Amino acid sequence: MKISNTLTGRKEEFIPEGDPVKMYVCGITPQSAAHIGHAMSYINFDVIRRYLLYRDYRVKYVQNFTDVDDKIIARAAPLGITPLELADRNIADFQADMAALNIMPADAYPRVTREIPSIIELVQGLVNKGFAYEAKGSVYFRVTKLDDYGKLSHRTLDQMQAGARIEVGEDKEHPMDFVLWKAAKPGEPSWDSPWGKGRPGWHIECSAMSRKYLGETIDIHGGGADLIFPHHENEIAQSESVTGKKPFVRYWLHNGLLQLGGEKMSKSVGNLITIKDFLSRNSADALRIFVLSSHYRSPLTFSAEVIDGAEKGAQRLAQALQAAGGGKVAAFDGEAYRQRFVEAMDDDFNTPRALAALFDLARDLNRIDAEGGDASAAKTLLRELADVLGLRLMAAKTAADGGKIAEAGAEIFRELGRDVPDWSGDAGKAMADVITLRAELRKVKDFAKADILRGKLESIGVSLKDTPSGTTWEYKPK
């Protein structure tokens, strides 16, 4: 397996330090609802994690929350709530969004406000070693102490300094020195420290939390390409200076950014589509296919047309899984598809090629089914590989559609005097039972009731297709 390393600029053989693979991905600043730009990053790293697990690596995955920040403080004040209350609310919403997107939960979600002692300890360590200094209650990192500052972003200190400026009231030795501990301001959250009351700077937080939960060195550190400088550059400076161990991170992975209307999708620009808004109109699988159709390091441009294409792709894969099976065993080279998938993912997690293998597999599955063959082996493999990419492959486009289909199934059962099973809004389970019921009615030649059943489904956009090997269904919202 080879992966691209931002630090070296090369594609390198993946050799983790030990077991488990230690993986840290920068989390959100929970100032407002998460948007699909966030989703793009976390889908990519979710798939990377899932593939490592598929390849039998154990993975410890940590993702933080920056739950105290200038933006959170500014946004909470007009709402009449504390910054922590705002952060709590948005973190809960974020985790619900991640579950809706089928993103695996992290093994740990450290929050800055709960890790202050670890952060202070790290800052003190840097001060003790001469890498940091105190000025008027704040503490700054001394970049001139390092010979290799800029090695991640591949820029020299002089190149960085050209665009730097010192803010009024700052007492930095060098324009590129960055804050580790901010002196307290009236009305803002603060904590006691050896330098007086204050709160952590942004960069020190991730160094402290990754160290506490994963150790002094880690295998994979991920985040958006916009974090390379200054955030990840400064993490390296802090962590390697305090521990003396290099490299702090063996493999730096950065995903491309999502664009809408020619600009990066971000809170500061204001061109946002929240995850909740997206999922009210489209499926989580469509968003995954949209993201994974491009290499994780490449930028993506959002458009309704592209999402519509991804939605249709998701439905094609979902429909293939409904092949009835039960015919004669067909010639099927599953290992060739699995090998294509693995070779693609081993090549720096090349999800476009991996997806292409899935669509070809689905096409083969449909061929086998149409010929009356047994497609069960192909279905099992498609489900296996789709799981690695985090695709649920449900025939319903959205959760609301799934509920609508399940409710239609319940009405059919009630009208025909049958007990309604507990489907919990799952369209797939509902339709499996409805199709079984219809087969029973046709077997006893009760075609009138079978037609009532079919008409009820068609009224909400569900069509049935009878094939030599069984019945499949398709949903097109009306």
**Which CATH number does the domain housing residue 145 bear?**
3.40.50.620
Looking at the structure, tell me whether residues 452 and 320 fall in a common domain: no
- What confidence score (pLDDT) does residue 164 get? 61
- Distance from C-alpha of 214 to C-alpha of 212, rounded to nearest angstrom: 6
pLDDT band for position 332 (cuts 50, 70, 90): confident
Give the closest residue to 430 by CA, choosing from 473, 374, 383, 467. Answer: 473
Looking at the structure, tell me whether residues 260 and 314 fall in a common domain: no
Percent of the chain whose predicted confidence (pLDDT) is above 70: 93
DSSP letter for 103, please: P
- Whether omega before 421 lies within 30 degrees of 0, making that bond cis, reads no
Looking at the structure, tell me whether residues 108 and 253 fall in a common domain: yes
Looking at the structure, tell me whether residues 45 and 177 fall in a common domain: yes
Any domain includes 230: yes
pLDDT band for position 333 (cuts 50, 70, 90): confident
pLDDT band for position 212 (cuts 50, 70, 90): very high
Any domain includes 297: no
The residue assigned the tokens 């070296």 is: 8
Q: Domain boundary residue among 336, 363, 388?
A: 388
Any domain includes 301: no
Looking at the structure, tell me whether residues 338 and 449 fall in a common domain: no
Any domain includes 5: no
pLDDT band for position 277 (cuts 50, 70, 90): very high
Looking at the structure, tell me whether residues 77 and 220 fall in a common domain: yes
Looking at the structure, tell me whether residues 347 and 206 fall in a common domain: no
Alpha helices in 347-463 (DSSP H): 351-370, 376-388, 399-415, 427-443, 447-459
Q: What is the pLDDT of residues 458-471, one digit of tens each?
A: 998 888 887 665 67
Q: What is the residue type of 159?
A: Q
Any domain includes 149: yes
The residue assigned the tokens 């249709």 is: 312
| 235 assigned to a ligand binding site | yes
Cβ atoms of 8 and 249 closer than 8 Å: no
| 173 assigned to a ligand binding site | no
- What confidence score (pLDDT) does residue 478 get? 64
Mean model confidence pLDDT for the chain? 91
Query: Is the predicted pLDDT of residue 115 greater than 60, yes or no?
Result: yes
Q: At what angle do helices 334-346 and 376-388 cross, to 10 degrees?
A: 10
DSSP conformation letters of 281-343: TS-HHHHHHHHHTS-TTS-EE--HHHHHHHHHHHHHHHHHTT----SEEPP--HHHHHHHHHH
| 35 assigned to a ligand binding site | no
Looking at the structure, tell me whether residues 240 and 372 fall in a common domain: no
- Distance from C-alpha of 138 to C-alpha of 15, rounded to nearest angstrom: 40
Q: Which domain holds residue 100?
A: 15-264
Q: What is the pLDDT of residues 283-309, one digit of tens each?
A: 999 999 999 999 999 999 999 999 999
Q: Which residues pair with 254 in a beta bridge?
A: 223
Range in 155-159, 253-257, 311-315 the model is least confident about: 155-159
- What confidence score (pLDDT) does residue 267 get? 66
**Number of folded domains in the chain?**
3
Looking at the structure, tell me whether residues 357 and 405 fall in a common domain: no
- Distance from C-alpha of 176 to C-alpha of 178, rounded to nearest angstrom: 6
Looking at the structure, tell me whether residues 137 and 180 fall in a common domain: yes
- What confidence score (pLDDT) does residue 263 get? 74
Q: Domain boundary residue among 264, 297, 328?
A: 264
| 231 assigned to a ligand binding site | yes
Looking at the structure, tell me whether residues 354 and 424 fall in a common domain: no
The predicted model scores a pTM of 0.85
Any domain includes 295: no
Query: Is the predicted pLDDT of residue 268 greater than 80, yes or no?
Result: no
| 26 assigned to a ligand binding site | yes
Any domain includes 55: yes
Any domain includes 3: no
Looking at the structure, tell me whether residues 461 and 318 fall in a common domain: no
Q: Domain boundary residue among 388, 421, 451?
A: 388
Q: What is the mean pLDDT of residues 356-383?
A: 90
